[in-house]
């Protein structure tokens, strides 16, 4: 049997000290336990952080909103504070996983969940992300995979919330041996490369303590649209988060972020540029849809995701 | 039409174990724990095609808690499947093929043990999918099976197909495909084996306790009276549990070696790899019809991906619907089953007919469009009251017609009652089906006993796959004995009753056991009334049974069943009933017609099912609640087949990529629209005095084509490959002329 110690820690410093010794943090455990069982994560000590001095509160702050790393997806789905510009978070949380998982899963764990790629998760298959060579999805089944090839790994990022937070220009608050730092989500997520076969730049000694969402001008609206293979309990084929603000009829803020298209959640900068400063008339929407695939290199089995992303973007823009 | 023999027509009697099941108190095989029990697990091949060069189990034996290891050579002479392969082969033919097994004190130690094997494999190039299997220079799954053909092609021909097509005004032709689907019963396969001295006891999650008993006895060289199979509650089977799979025999061998009970349950992955599936098909079709919509010829060339083995008696009858559903003088079908390096196919709820009907009924819809005929009208123009395959009249020649009208009426065809929404379009579709099952599957035996206290026991060697067998059998007996059904206790799921009953398959249970119980109950009623007449000094004709008593119809005298049982002592009030042969004069098939309304999103190609109607013919309905359950369950499984369910295999490695319930998408509640069971309730007395047939399979057959036809109606584009995933739907959207 594999010995596995389960402990809980009462100080953050003790938690981060343990991380360098190979401890693994257990929040809701909804991703960690499957990964442990599939031999994709190895550790001898699990540190339950639900009793650490970490918050799960969703609060207003002078600069906007703060969501504690331990906030459950259920709490996010129900929070009255997440309205207006942040309502897309609620929508995304409500479309994530199942009620049972949402009751357990936390925001911190959600941002750090590993890809759902069926080659990565299959213990009989070898792949680059697991330390091997090559990506079997390229020649194999990649219907759910990334259409951008920013990494030797073709897995698409699975988190619905991550895309939404990226569209909100949110930042993660990290705590490590060197103290606290704030990193924008834009920098936090980074496609895996040969030095770092992971989707974030989180340090080996760091823990997420919270996510900060900057205040957005009054009247900012948002939407999250998720295309799935079935009506519930499925990961996004494509998820589209849109945050807009208008002055008069002109769009002065256009943030668009997609999940399911790339190795990390991705801002659709070309689309944003095509729309910013316009009235979002049909021609502008068309122009945004035209550039949605710029830079993409879809595989034969996932080119449909481009059509799907366009469909979601158009639907979202027209409904806001 | 009401026949006195028909039990409580349509009575909505609650399933007897309903409360037990929803409160978690029904004990399934996986709940059986025996004193001193060990756990077992199977090491499965990581390769789709490989030779085992060397097995080093020395580290396995070192693992704490591991008790025993068996590999090839430890199963003397036992052979499996049509190909007679050993339990643990040296040649492995699919990812998941059995390599070795381990017993240990705990499940955790089993896992650790399985991880400790060192095995040298010689990995060979696999054959994955129909295209590869049928390819001229493909590797051979079996050296002695050229062309990867599992059997001689099955050819059927009636009339003159060439002449038929020559006479046709309109021809629809093309290729349709259906995918490999997994049964995914809630409870996986598994068993608990315990040798009580020389008597092997097996608790098995099975659809056929007698099949398991007989085959396990044969494989282990035991007399039949030394094997006893138990199965009280089964968490579904859908066809995959009617054969005796390897784990049962492996557990029995391990239990004998350790002298301890051994429990071996498959996990979800093993269940998805090595416990059966619905075979994928490719069907090349041609339908010819006259301008007024009469079919002049049908031709179907069918290829089936049977996987690595053939399982006896489960050969998929994909060609059947082409031969039976419509009146047509000229029919040619040709069916080939191929081997490939994937887990073997096995019967799956209406095997063959689901796959065949999916293609035929889509093609019929295309024909209706070509002819500008309403789909119902086209089908009714080709109505047949005869089973042209068996050259006999259908036992219910009017049943399919009744299904057409019940479905049409319940659906309000072709009206689309709901208004159109912006950026969405709606469509309606229908499909019909025939199924050769739903009739008796002899032999079957039952025994009825009046106990000393007047309670009644009904014994038979059936098992309840989850359809409510106990409940309906009690209803049949209680009707004859004029008791509340709750007064009849039904004892099933134990071969020690020695009352052989058919597998819970082919929709045969009620049609086989219902009449046997009816015979036994009628006989028992006669005994009871005769004894009561003696006790009351009355004429039998003046007596009637009434809720545990026999009363004078006119007078006030009565005697209880308990008193009668005492009066019978030292004898007893007991009877038996058997069904030994099928009537056979006509062809007792079952039918169904289904309609679907769907909405398709013009931006995202998402399909939303709005409503489904299913009008199945199942003879007389004995229990409305249980009948509804079969319809809802079958249609739900059918819509999964239409939209989301597909086993995905990596072509290079043969790995099953979605061998779990996260990636293999069965419908959730949110995917299932309102399903209406449009009642037909047409008793069929040709087979039995109850007028009953079966309903397990008919409701799944026409669901997928009805849905596809509705989607095609919505888009004005034909789709010919299942399931209708997003990729296919978005491709279809680009062809649609619907407003965008
Ligand atoms: C059936 C199923 C369906 C799902 N569907 C969806 C879906 O539709 N959309 C979606 O977005 N997600 C989905 N998920 C993923 C789910 O949202 C994540 O598993 C969950 O959010 C992880 O949170 P957790 O608290 O359980 O994390 P854990 O499993 O406890 O942890 C995950 C990882 O994060 C680390 N970790 C956790 N908290 C911190 C912290 N504060 N700081 C540093 N490291 C930390 C852990 O050490 C571990 O490595 C699904 C999961 C399942 C099982």
Task: Tell me the chain B residues in contact with residue A308 when contact means C-beta distances shorter than 8 Å.
Answer: 604-605, 726, 730
Strands across the sheet containing A221-227: A221-227, A238-247, A250-259, A266-267
Task: Tell me the chain A residues in contact with residue B657 when contact means C-beta distances shorter than 8 Å.
Answer: 118-119, 122, 140-141
Cβ-contact A174, A180 below 8 angstroms: yes
CA separation for the pair B318, B353 (Å, rounded): 5
CA separation for the pair B372, B278 (Å, rounded): 34
Predicted local distance difference test score (pLDDT) of residue B313: 57
Whose Cα sits closest to atom 14 in ligand 1?
A: A97
Q: Is B269 on the interface with A (CB under 8 A)?
A: no
Confidence class for position B2, pLDDT limits 50, 70, 90: very low
Task: Tell me the chain A residues in contact with residue B733 when contact means C-beta distances shorter than 8 Å.
Answer: 307
CA separation for the pair B367, B373 (Å, rounded): 8
> Of the candidates B606, B650, B668, which has its C-beta nearest A141's C-beta?
B650
Predicted local distance difference test score (pLDDT) of residue B544: 95
> Of the candidates A2, A136, A230, which has its C-beta nearest B665's C-beta?
A230
pLDDT in tens, B646-703: 999 999 999 999 999 999 999 999 999 999 999 999 999 998 999 999 999 999 999 9
The H or E element that residue B456 is part of is strand B456-460
| CA–centroid distance, residue A236 to ligand 1 (Å) | 15
CA separation for the pair A75, A82 (Å, rounded): 10
| CA–centroid distance, residue A24 to ligand 1 (Å) | 13
Predicted local distance difference test score (pLDDT) of residue B3: 44
- Does A235 contact ligand 1 (Cβ within 6 A)? yes
pLDDT at residue B719 tops 50? yes
Q: Give the number of residues written for chain B.
A: 740
Looking at chain B, which residue has its C-alpha nearest residue A311? Answer: B603
Confidence class for position B1, pLDDT limits 50, 70, 90: very low
Predicted local distance difference test score (pLDDT) of residue B417: 59
Whose Cα sits closest to atom 2 in ligand 1?
A: A97
- Classify B92 as helix, strand or coil: strand
Confidence class for position A2, pLDDT limits 50, 70, 90: confident
Distance from the A122 Cα atom to the nearest Cα atom in chain B, whole angstroms: 7
Indicate the pTM of the whole model: 0.97
pLDDT in tens, B566-611: 999 999 999 999 999 998 899 999 999 999 999 999 999 999 999 9
Mutate which of A50, A93, A109, A233 to test ligand 1's pocket (most atoms within 8 Å of Cβ)?
A109
CA separation for the pair B166, B146 (Å, rounded): 35
Q: Is B64 on the interface with A (CB under 8 A)?
A: yes
pLDDT in tens, B317-335: 999 999 999 999 999 999 9
Structure tokens of A219? 């009247």
> Of the candidates A125, A312, A315, which has its C-beta nearest B653's C-beta?
A125
Fold assignment, B32-124+191-265: Aldehyde Oxidoreductase; domain 3 (3.90.1170)
Whose Cα sits closest to atom 31 in ligand 1?
A: A109
User: What integer is the mean pLDDT of A145-168?
Assistant: 97
Query: B579: which residues sit within 8 A by CB, 6+ positions away?
Result: B440, B442, B443, B444, B512, B513, B515, B516, B519, B688
CA separation for the pair B717, B731 (Å, rounded): 10
Confidence class for position B127, pLDDT limits 50, 70, 90: very high
Predicted local distance difference test score (pLDDT) of residue A9: 83
User: What integer is the mean pLDDT of B18-29?
Assistant: 95
pLDDT in tens, B169-203: 999 999 999 999 999 999 999 999 999 999 999 99
* Closest ligand 1 atom to Cα of A236: 8
User: What integer is the mean pLDDT of B215-231?
Assistant: 97
CATH annotation of B18-25+443-579: 3.30.365.10
Task: Tell me the chain A residues in contact with residue B601 when contact means C-beta distances shorter than 8 Å.
Answer: 311
Confidence class for position A141, pLDDT limits 50, 70, 90: very high
Cβ-contact B68, B102 below 8 angstroms: yes
Cβ distance A124 to B64 less than 8 Å, yes or no, reads no
Task: Tell me the chain B residues in contact with residue A301 when contact means C-beta distances shorter than 8 Å.
Answer: 727
CB pairs under 8 A between A and B: 85
Predicted local distance difference test score (pLDDT) of residue B8: 47
Cβ-contact B615, B443 below 8 angstroms: no
User: What integer is the mean pLDDT of B138-158?
Assistant: 96
| CA–centroid distance, residue A27 to ligand 1 (Å) | 8
pLDDT at residue A318 tops 50? yes
CATH annotation of B393-440+583-740: 3.30.365.10
Predicted local distance difference test score (pLDDT) of residue B485: 87
| CA–centroid distance, residue A28 to ligand 1 (Å) | 7
Share of chain B above pLDDT 70, in %: 97
CA separation for the pair B598, B602 (Å, rounded): 13
Same-fold call for B32-124+191-265 versus B138-182+276-384: no
* Closest ligand 1 atom to Cα of A208: 42
pLDDT at residue B288 tops 50? yes
Strands across the sheet containing B118-123: B91-92, B50-56, B118-123
Q: Is B108 on the interface with A (CB under 8 A)?
A: yes
Task: Tell me the chain B residues in contact with residue A234 when contact means C-beta distances shorter than 8 Å.
Answer: 665
> Of the candidates A140, A304, A308, which has its C-beta nearest B651's C-beta?
A140
Confidence class for position A230, pLDDT limits 50, 70, 90: very high
Predicted local distance difference test score (pLDDT) of residue B418: 63
CATH number for the B138-182+276-384 domain, one of 3.30.365.10, 3.30.70.20, 3.30.420.280, 3.10.150.10?
A: 3.30.365.10
User: What integer is the mean pLDDT of A192-220?
Assistant: 96
pLDDT in tens, A173-189: 999 999 999 999 999 99
- Does A46 contact ligand 1 (Cβ within 6 A)? no
* Closest ligand 1 atom to Cα of A54: 41
pLDDT at residue B4 tops 80? no
pLDDT in tens, A274-298: 999 999 999 999 999 999 999 999 9
- Does A302 contact ligand 1 (Cβ within 6 A)? no
CB atoms within 10 A of CB B442: 16
Task: Tell me the chain B residues in contact with residue A122 when contact means C-beta distances shorter than 8 Å.
Answer: 655, 657
First-last CA distance in chain B:
54
Domain ranges of chain B: 18-25+443-579, 32-124+191-265, 138-182+276-384, 393-440+583-740
CA separation for the pair A163, A158 (Å, rounded): 9
pLDDT at residue A229 tops 90? yes
> Of the candidates B108, B606, B655, which has its C-beta nearest A1's C-beta?
B108
Predicted local distance difference test score (pLDDT) of residue B739: 67
Mutate which of A15, A31, A94, A174 to test ligand 1's pocket (most atoms within 8 Å of Cβ)?
A31
Cβ-contact A30, A185 below 8 angstroms: no
The H or E element that residue B322 is part of is helix B320-324
């Amino acid at each position: 049997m594999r010995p596995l110690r389960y402990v809980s820690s009462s100080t953050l410093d003790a938690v981060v000290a343990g991380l360098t010794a190979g401890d693994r943090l257990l929040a809701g455990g909804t991703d960690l336990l499957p990964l442990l069982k599939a031999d994709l994560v190895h550790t001898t000590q699990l540190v339950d952080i639900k009793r650490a001095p970490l918050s799960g509160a969703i609060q207003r702050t002078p600069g906007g909103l703060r969501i504690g790393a331990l906030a459950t997806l259920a709490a996010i789905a129900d929070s009255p504070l997440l309205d207006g510009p942040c309502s897309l978070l609620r929508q995304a949380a409500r479309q994530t996983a199942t009620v049972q998982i949402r009751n357990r899963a936390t925001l911190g764990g959600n941002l750090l969940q590993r890809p759902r790629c069926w080659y990565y998760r299959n213990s009989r298959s070898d792949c680059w992300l697991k330390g091997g060579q090559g990506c079997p999805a390229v020649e194999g089944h990649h219907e759910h995979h990334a259409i951008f090839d920013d990494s030797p790994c073709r897995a698409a990022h699975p988190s619905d919330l991550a895309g939404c937070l990226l569209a909100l220009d949110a930042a993660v608050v990290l705590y490590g041996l060197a103290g606290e730092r704030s990193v924008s989500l834009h920098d936090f997520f980074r496609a895996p490369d040969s030095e770092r076969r992971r989707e974030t730049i989180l340090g080996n000694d760091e823990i997420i303590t919270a996510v900060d969402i900057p205040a957005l001008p009054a009247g900012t609206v948002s939407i999250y649209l998720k295309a799935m293979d079935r009506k519930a309990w499925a990961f996004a084929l494509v998820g589209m988060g849109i945050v807009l603000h208008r002055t008069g009829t002109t769009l002065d803020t256009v943030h668009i972020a997609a999940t399911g298209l790339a190795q990390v959640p991705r801002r659709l900068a070309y689309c944003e540029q095509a729309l910013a400063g316009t009235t979002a008339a049909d021609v502008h929407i068309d122009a945004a849809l035209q550039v949605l695939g710029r830079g993409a290199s879809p595989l034969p089995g996932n080119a449909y995701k481009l059509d799907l992303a366009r469909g979601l973007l158009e639907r979202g823009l027209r409904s806001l | 039409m009401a026949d006195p023999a028909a039990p409580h027509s349509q009575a909505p009697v609650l399933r007897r174990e309903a409360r037990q099941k929803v409160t978690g108190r029904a004990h399934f095989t996986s709940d059986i724990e025996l004193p001193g029990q060990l756990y077992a697990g199977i090491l499965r091949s990581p390769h789709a095609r490989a030779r085992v060069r060397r097995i080093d189990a020395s580290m396995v034996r070192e693992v704490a808690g591991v008790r025993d290891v068996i590999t090839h050579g430890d199963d003397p002479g036992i052979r499996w499947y049509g190909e007679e392969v050993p339990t643990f082969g040296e040649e492995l033919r699919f990812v998941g093929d059995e390599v070795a097994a381990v017993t240990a004190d705990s499940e955790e130690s089993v896992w650790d043990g399985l991880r400790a094997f060192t095995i040298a494999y010689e990995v060979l190039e696999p054959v994955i999918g129909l295209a590869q299997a049928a390819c001229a220079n493909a590797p051979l799954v079996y050296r002695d099976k050229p062309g990867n053909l599992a059997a001689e092609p099955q050819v059927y021909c009636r009339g003159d197909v060439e002449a038929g097509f020559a006479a046709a005004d309109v021809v629809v032709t093309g290729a349709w495909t259906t995918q490999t689907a997994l049964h995914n019963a809630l409870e996986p396969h598994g068993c608990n084996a315990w040798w009580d001295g020389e008597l092997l006891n097996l608790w098995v999650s099975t659809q056929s306790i007698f099949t398991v008993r007989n085959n396990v006895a044969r494989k282990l060289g035991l007399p039949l009276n030394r094997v006893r199979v138990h199965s009280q509650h089964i968490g579904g089977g859908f066809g995959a549990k009617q054969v005796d799979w390897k784990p049962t025999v492996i557990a029995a061998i391990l239990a004998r070696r350790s002298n301890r009970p051994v429990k071996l349950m498959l996990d979800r992955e093993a269940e998805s790899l090595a416990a059966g599936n619905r075979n994928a098909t490719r069907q090349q079709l041609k339908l010819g019809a006259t301008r007024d919509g009469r079919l002049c010829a049908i031709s179907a060339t069918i290829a089936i991906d049977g996987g690595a083995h053939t399982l006896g008696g489960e050969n998929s009858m994909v060609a059947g619907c082409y031969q039976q559903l419509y009146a047509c003088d000229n029919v040619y079908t040709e069916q080939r089953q191929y081997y490939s390096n994937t887990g073997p196919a096995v019967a799956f709820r209406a095997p063959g007919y689901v796959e065949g009907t999916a293609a035929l009924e889509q093609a019929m819809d295309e024909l209706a469009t070509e002819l500008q005929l309403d789909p119902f009208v086209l089908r009714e123009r080709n109505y047949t009251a005869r089973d042209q395959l068996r050259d006999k009249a259908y036992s219910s020649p009017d049943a399919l017609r009744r299904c057409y009208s019940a479905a049409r009426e319940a659906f309000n065809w072709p009206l689309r009652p709901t208004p159109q929404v912006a950026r969405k379009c709606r469509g309606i579709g229908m499909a019909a089906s025939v199924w050769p099952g739903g009739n008796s599957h002899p032999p079957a035996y039952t025994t009825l006993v009046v106990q000393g206290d007047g309670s009644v026991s009904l014994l038979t060697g059936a098992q309840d796959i989850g359809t409510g067998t106990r409940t309906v059998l009690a209803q049949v007996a209680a009707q004859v004995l004029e008791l509340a059904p709750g007064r009849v206790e039904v004892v099933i799921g134990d071969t020690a009753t020695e009352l052989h009953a058919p597998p819970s398959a082919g929709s045969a249970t009620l049609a086989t056991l219902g009449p046997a119980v009816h015979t036994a109950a009628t006989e028992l009623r006669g005994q009871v009334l005769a004894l009561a007449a003696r006790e009351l000094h009355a004429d039998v004709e003046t007596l009637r049974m009434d809720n545990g008593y026999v009363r004078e119809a006119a007078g006030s005298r009565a005697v209880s069943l308990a008193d009668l049982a005492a009066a019978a002592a030292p004898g007893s009030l007991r009877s038996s009933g058997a069904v030994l042969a099928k009537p056979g004069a006509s062809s007792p098939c079952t039918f169904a017609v289904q309609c679907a309304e769907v909405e398709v999103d013009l931006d995202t190609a998402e399909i939303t099912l709005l409503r489904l109607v299913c009008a199945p013919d199942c003879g007389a309905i004995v229990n409305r609640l249980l009948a509804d359950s079969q319809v809802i369950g079958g249609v739900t499984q059918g819509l999964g087949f239409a939209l989301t369910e597909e086993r995905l295999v990596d072509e290079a490695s043969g790995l099953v990529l979605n061998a779990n319930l996260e990636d293999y998408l069965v419908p959730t509640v949110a995917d299932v629209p309102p399903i209406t069971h449009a009642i037909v309730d047409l008793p069929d007395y040709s087979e039995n005095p109850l007028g009953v047939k079966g309903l397990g399979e008919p409701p799944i057959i026409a669901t997928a084509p009805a849905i596809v036809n509705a989607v095609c109606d919505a888009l004005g584009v034909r789709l010919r490959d299942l399931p209708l995933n997003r990729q296919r739907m978005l491709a279809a959207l680009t062809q649609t002329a619907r407003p965008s």
